[in-house]
């Protein structure tokens, strides 16, 4: 009988970890730029913007969609970077699952960075969104 876990050591882990790292560098840069933009505003405008965003994006029903959509965007960005930067990797469903594992590792490491996290966090909905984003963007590779 063959060992299915033996295939894991033949995956391009280094490239996938680099792609996941680049994805979270982009996401962290966008969060940081939004945070800097927010801090440049005066207090009255800050309060108005926060109230408007909190009321709109994090209302009870829309918050589920917002958090899932952010996760899907992160997953889709990772597959986009994988397609554009690693042309020598033959992408299939196993590579996409390994990319999801690398994204989860990157998300855990990202949570230890002492910067404000506006969009990213470790919760089930964001992880499900990342899985959906990876397989939505990479649907031509797993069919």
Compute the mean pLDDT over every residue in the chain, rounded to the nearest whole number.
85
pLDDT-derived band of residue 8, with 50, 70 and 90 as boundaries? confident
Confidence of residue 4 (pLDDT cuts 50, 70, 90): low
Q: What is the pLDDT of residue 34?
A: 77
pLDDT at 50 over 70: no
Split at pLDDT 50, 70, 90, the class of 58 is low
Q: What are 68-71's contacts with CB under 8 Å, separation 24+?
A: 68/125, 68/126, 68/128, 68/129, 68/132, 69/129, 70/119, 70/120, 70/126, 70/129, 71/125, 71/126, 71/127, 71/128, 71/129, 71/130, 71/132, 71/133
Rounded to an integer, what distance in angstroms lies between the CA atom of residue 33 and that of residue 37? 6
Q: Would the pLDDT of 64 be above 50?
A: yes
Residue 1: pLDDT band with limits 50, 70, 90: very low
**What average pLDDT does the segment 11-31 reach?**
93
């Amino acid at each position: 009988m063959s060992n299915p876990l033996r295939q894991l050591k033949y995956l391009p882990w280094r490239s996938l970890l680099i792609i996941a790292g680049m994805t979270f560098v982009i996401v962290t840069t966008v969060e940081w730029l939004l945070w800097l933009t927010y801090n440049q505003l005066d207090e009255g405008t800050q309060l108005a913007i926060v109230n408007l965003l909190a009321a709109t994006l994090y209302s009870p029903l829309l918050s589920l969609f917002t958090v899932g959509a952010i996760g899907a965007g992160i997953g889709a960005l990772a597959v986009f970077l994988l397609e554009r930067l690693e042309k020598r990797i033959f992408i299939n469903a196993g590579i996409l699952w390994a990319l999801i594992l690398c994204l989860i590792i990157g998300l855990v490491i990202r949570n230890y960075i002492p910067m404000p996290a506006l969009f990213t966090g470790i919760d089930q909905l964001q992880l499900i969104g990342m899985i959906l984003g990876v397989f939505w963007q990479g649907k031509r590779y797993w069919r």
